Chain A
Amino acid sequence: MRQVPTVKTLKINGRDLSGRQEETILDVARQNGIFIPRLCEMDGLTDVGACRLCLVEIKGQNKLLPACVTMVEEGMEVTTDSERLQSYRRMILELLFTERNHVCSVCVSNGHCEMQNLAQRLGITHVHFPYRYPKEDVDASHERFVIDHNRCILCTRCVRVCDEIEGAHTWDVMGRGIEAKVITDLNEPWGSSETCTTCGKCVHVCPTGALFEKGRSVAEMMKRRQFLPYLTLMRKENE
């Protein structure tokens, strides 16, 4: 017998909305055209709540909660765009810009970058923190792709797509805190990875210009992500 979905009713920004109990606040907001910024979440991949950009306020709770991993509950009252949230989001983005070396004007993803678009949408004109200017490597050893750690924001989309969709688990994260970085295999050059299938999914889910196709010049890297929900759906149907 087909299971009847349990529906929860809630308020987002004062609007009365409903969602299924297995849905997150972000899912319901998205279905109803309410914008909540995010960089690590991606439809078709498991959610990790890493970027903290989707934090929302929930009435009765002191803590801000990430909308991508918080399930809807009956009677929930959510605010997604208070002045406090907006200033936190700008701060998070500014910190991301200072953490490594993001130079939009000469980046392969200029004009097509999720982080750049978000910064523009949130009205960031200046970064108020000192830049760290770390010395980061570029690994161009792969035949077709390049990873530029200068532009990586550690969203781990590449790690998840490689593991969950491609099943190769070439990517992972090494180190802790500010030392953390994404690696291929056991921190070997990407070009000598034995697990990489050269499928390119990681490149296309990457929100910035950290992963790109070799031979792309400035502003030329367009990412195509339509494949992901489609692949996930086909797999579910086959199960």
Chain B
Amino acid sequence: MKQESTIVIDPVTRIEGHSKITLHLNEDGRVEDARFHVTQFRGFEKLCEGRPFYEMPSLMARICGICPVSHLIASAKACDSLLAVRIPPTADKLRRIFGLAQVTQSHALSLFHLSSPDLLLGMDADPAKSNIFGVAEANKELALDGIRLRQFGQKIIERLGGKRIHPAWVVPGGVSEPLSEANRDAILQSLPEALAIAERTLEWFKGTMEQFREEISTFGNFPTMFMGIVKKDNGLTFYGGKLRIVDASGHVVADDLDPTQYDDYIGEKVEPWSYLKSAYYKPKGFPDGVYRVGPLARLNVADRCGTPRADQELAEFHELQRTAVLSSFHYHHARLIEILYCIERLEQLLNDSEILSKHVRAVARPNALEGVGACEAPRGTLFHHYKIDEQGLIRWVNLIIATGHNNLAMNRSVLQVAKHFVHGRRLTPGMLNRVEAVIRCYDPCLSCSTHAWGQMPLRIQLVSPEGEVVDEVARA
């Protein structure tokens, strides 16, 4: 008997946060529609109303335990504009160092801890082995490299901010403490090892790409726009600049967009089936205004990285496709190039003659009642927008997080992968792992913790419209 049915993947594993995927099958057992549901609700925009805006960077950092630094930076930048100050140049550079360290550790987490099981052991590997421990068994050096690289980034954050997670060091007007010479030297000493890890991982990754031809052609491989912040010279940056949007052919759609005016060109749509809003480019409307952010998007919008090794790799990356690089599988590749860039850029900044300056904070009263801060978080463009009253208390907050920008594209990617790999009424772990793996490409950050590394039970049921379980696959 032919009938329509739904496959539910709940929860999705090896991602940051809580979500599920539903696949709707038609009468022939083919995937007709797919949805990526974010099942958690946080409420940060509401709960910080009434708080003094000086607390905002630390309060906002609590959104995420993986990328608290990105929230600190975007929030502090929004607060800088409430103070209407220009922060000291050294503070600006120290914040950049902080951000680069954070991108490195976060990318390392995504690539090694969450995605390397798929890349090393294969998409069809035993789910019980598809985790960082399985990777350690199969390739000890790769797993150790991942752990070391994450530690490298976290150590820099600790040296600057006093602790690795949720440091309160970034404040409105700058940073609270200058960088000591001893810490500068210690960080510089740790760079060569990190660079060597980045280089050999990139080589290894490029060597594995041949095995994933089918995935590359179906993992979110469709035309969309790409958005990212670029420097004045259109180079890669994580800290600040103007927004640029390119289309699927790589042509610039919009350039020099002021991030503080994001509301003019970015819309957010609420879908009843997910707590995550879907962002879209307003001039193209919904859903045609779909765009992607994050590593892949940044490398598609930036003309150059600005550091020698990363620029070489970027040139090779652009060889992948004459247009913009479209497959979301290449997020992994882009992530590795960005790690390379971060390490090279860290060296440049740490050798800056002003970096040890003690003048790292501008002090002012609130001089504006509204402020927007934007930066590039590991997963993409991050906006913090605050309104305060005359007393400096928060009255209204809007946050647009990278994963929100990617929501539309993630949904379409899930559909594409499911249509290609999921057939009939029998489910295999490999089929469903691919549906999850495409989500991992985007490295969505759905919550604030890293607790999901592959041990969470995954249960997929194929349910008939009458509620009958046609098939079930369980991962314990």
Residues of chain A touching chain B, judged by Cβ–Cβ distance below 8 Å, are 105-106, 108, 110, 137-138, 140-141, 146, 148, 191, 214-220
Complex: A214 Cα to B366 Cα, angstroms: 11
Q: List 14 A-B contacts (CB under 8 A).
A: A106-B55, A106-B62, A108-B55, A140-B393, A141-B391, A146-B52, A191-B391, A214-B52, A214-B54, A215-B54, A217-B55, A217-B57, A217-B58, A217-B171
Given contact pairs A106-B59, A140-B393, A141-B391, A216 touches B166 in the complex (Cβ within 8 A): no
Contact (Cβ within 8 A) A219 B168: yes
Q: A-B pairs with the 8 shortest C-beta distances?
A: A218-B58, A140-B391, A217-B171, A218-B168, A219-B168, A106-B59, A217-B54, A106-B58
Complex: A138 Cα to B388 Cα, angstroms: 13
Complex: A215 Cα to B176 Cα, angstroms: 12
Contact (Cβ within 8 A) B392 A140: yes
Contact (Cβ within 8 A) B52 A138: yes
Q: Is B380 an interface residue (CB 8 A)?
A: no
Question: Would you list which residues of chain B between 351 and 380 have a CB under 8 Å from chain A?
Answer: 363, 365
Complex: A110 Cα to B166 Cα, angstroms: 13
Question: Would you list which residues of chain B between 50 and 75 have a CB under 8 Å from chain A?
Answer: 50-52, 54-55, 57-59, 62
Q: What are the residues of chain B within 8 A of A215 when measuring CB–CB?
A: 54, 363, 365
Given contact pairs A106-B58, A140-B392, A146-B52, A217 touches B176 in the complex (Cβ within 8 A): yes
Q: Is B172 an interface residue (CB 8 A)?
A: yes
Contact (Cβ within 8 A) A110 B363: no
C-beta contact mask, B23-50 vs A, less than 8 Å → 1, else 0?
0000000000000000000000000001
A217's closest neighbor in chain B, by CB? B171
Q: What are the residues of chain B within 8 A of A108 when measuring CB–CB?
A: 54-55
Q: What are the residues of chain B within 8 A of A146 when measuring CB–CB?
A: 52
Q: What are the residues of chain A within 8 A of B392 when measuring CB–CB?
A: 140, 214
A136's closest neighbor in chain B, by CB? B50
Residue of B51, B176, B391, B392 with highest tally of chain A CB at under 10 A: B391
Is chain B's interface secondary structure helix, strand, loop, or mixed overall?
loop
Q: What are the residues of chain A within 8 A of B172 when measuring CB–CB?
A: 217
Q: How many A-B residue pairs have CB under 8 A?
A: 49
Question: Would you list which residues of chain B between 149 and 195 have a CB under 8 Å from chain A?
Answer: 166, 168, 171-172, 176
Given contact pairs A105-B62, A106-B58, A106-B62, A220 touches B51 in the complex (Cβ within 8 A): no
Given contact pairs A106-B58, A140-B52, A220 touches B393 in the complex (Cβ within 8 A): no
Complex: A138 Cα to B49 Cα, angstroms: 11
Q: What are the residues of chain A within 8 A of B55 when measuring CB–CB?
A: 106, 108, 217-218
Contact (Cβ within 8 A) A220 B50: no
A219's closest neighbor in chain B, by CB? B168
Q: What are the residues of chain A within 8 A of B52 when measuring CB–CB?
A: 138, 140, 146, 148, 214
The smallest beta-carbon distance between B75 and chain A, in angstroms, is 11
Complex: A138 Cα to B51 Cα, angstroms: 7
Q: What are the residues of chain A within 8 A of B59 when measuring CB–CB?
A: 106, 218
Contact (Cβ within 8 A) A216 B50: no
Complex: A39 Cα to B166 Cα, angstroms: 28
A105-B62, A106-B62 are known contacts; what are 15 more A-B pairs with Cβ within 8 Å?
A105-B58, A106-B55, A106-B58, A106-B59, A110-B168, A140-B52, A140-B392, A191-B391, A214-B52, A214-B54, A215-B54, A217-B55, A217-B171, A218-B57, A219-B58
Q: What are the residues of chain B within 8 A of A216 when measuring CB–CB?
A: 54
The smallest beta-carbon distance between B68 and chain A, in angstroms, is 11
Q: What are the residues of chain A within 8 A of B365 when measuring CB–CB?
A: 214-215
Contact (Cβ within 8 A) A138 B58: no
Contact (Cβ within 8 A) A220 B391: no
A141's closest neighbor in chain B, by CB? B391
Question: Would you list which residues of chain B between 391 and 423 have a CB under 8 Å from chain A?
Answer: 391-393
Q: What are the residues of chain B within 8 A of A138 when measuring CB–CB?
A: 50-52, 393
The smallest beta-carbon distance between A217 and chain B, in angstroms, is 4
A218's closest neighbor in chain B, by CB? B58
Complex: A219 Cα to B57 Cα, angstroms: 12
Complex: A215 Cα to B174 Cα, angstroms: 12
Residue of A110, A216, A218 with highest tally of chain B CB at under 10 A: A218
Complex: A219 Cα to B392 Cα, angstroms: 18
Q: What are the residues of chain A within 8 A of B57 when measuring CB–CB?
A: 217-218
Complex: A218 Cα to B166 Cα, angstroms: 11
Contact (Cβ within 8 A) B166 A105: yes
Complex: A140 Cα to B168 Cα, angstroms: 22
The smallest beta-carbon distance between B286 and chain A, in angstroms, is 35
A146's closest neighbor in chain B, by CB? B52
| Residue in contact with A220 in the complex, picked from B62, B166, B171, CB distance below 8 Å | B171
Q: What are the residues of chain B within 8 A of A141 when measuring CB–CB?
A: 391
Complex: A68 Cα to B249 Cα, angstroms: 77
B391's closest neighbor in chain A, by CB? A140
Complex: A219 Cα to B176 Cα, angstroms: 10
Given contact pairs A106-B59, A106-B62, A138-B393, A220 touches B363 in the complex (Cβ within 8 A): no
Q: What are the residues of chain A within 8 A of B391 when measuring CB–CB?
A: 140-141, 191
Complex: A68 Cα to B474 Cα, angstroms: 63
Complex: A216 Cα to B59 Cα, angstroms: 13
Residue of A108, A146, A215, A220 with highest tally of chain B CB at under 10 A: A215
Complex: A110 Cα to B58 Cα, angstroms: 11
Residue of A137, A146, A216, A217 with highest tally of chain B CB at under 10 A: A217
B48's closest neighbor in chain A, by CB? A106
Residue of A108, A140, A216 with highest tally of chain B CB at under 10 A: A140
